[in-house]
Amino acid sequence: MTDPAAAGARAAAARLTGSHGPDLAPEVEAALYARSGTSGPVQYTDPVAVAALIVSVAQLAWTVYQDRRRTDPEPPPEVIARHVRVRLAREPEVPGPELEPADRDRIIEVVIEETVRSAAEDGTAPETD
């Protein structure tokens, strides 16, 4: 079984490379590798900040998705996005504060789409039409 958060982060990085540069995918891989370590939160600069944000959002989106599935077998991405944004607003250590709000929102949307899609492809979520 794959890690839907990691798969979502990788797919989101691939989709966002055009607007955030070719270093985004390797930076996401570095952030994914770093998340398994024991170091605390680190403040990053662009594109590292974008990569760290993608990984953080993917992990959070997966957690929210799993929680929401308890009451709705196919929670709408908009509901997941709203929960993720609320939780991110409460956690100032989440990287990426130097991003424009529109860029941050786009990253959140793409990561959520890709994380949910990865879960469906992996069989850990109900199939959608």
pLDDT digits (tens, 9 = 90+) for 24-74: 888 888 888 887 664 444 444 467 778 888 888 899 989 998 898 899 888
Q: What does R_g of the chain's alpha carbons equal in angstroms?
A: 14
- Rounded distance between C-alpha atoms, residue 18 and residue 6, angstroms: 20
pLDDT the model gives residue 21 = 86
Average pLDDT over residues 6-34: 88
In this prediction, residue 40 carries a pLDDT of: 47
Predicted TM-score (pTM) of the model is 0.61
Hey, where are the domains in the chain? 4-122
Please give the average per-residue pLDDT across 94-108, as a whole number.
71
Strands of 15-78 (E only): list them. none
Chain-centroid distance, C-alpha 32? 11
Mean pLDDT of 94-112: 75
Residues 6+ positions from 4 with CB-CB distance below 8 Å: 58, 62, 115, 118, 119, 122, 124, 125
pLDDT at 129: 42
What was the pLDDT predicted at 14? 92
Burial class (CB in 10 A: 0-12, 13-18, 19+), 73: exposed
Q: What is the pLDDT of residue 1?
A: 54
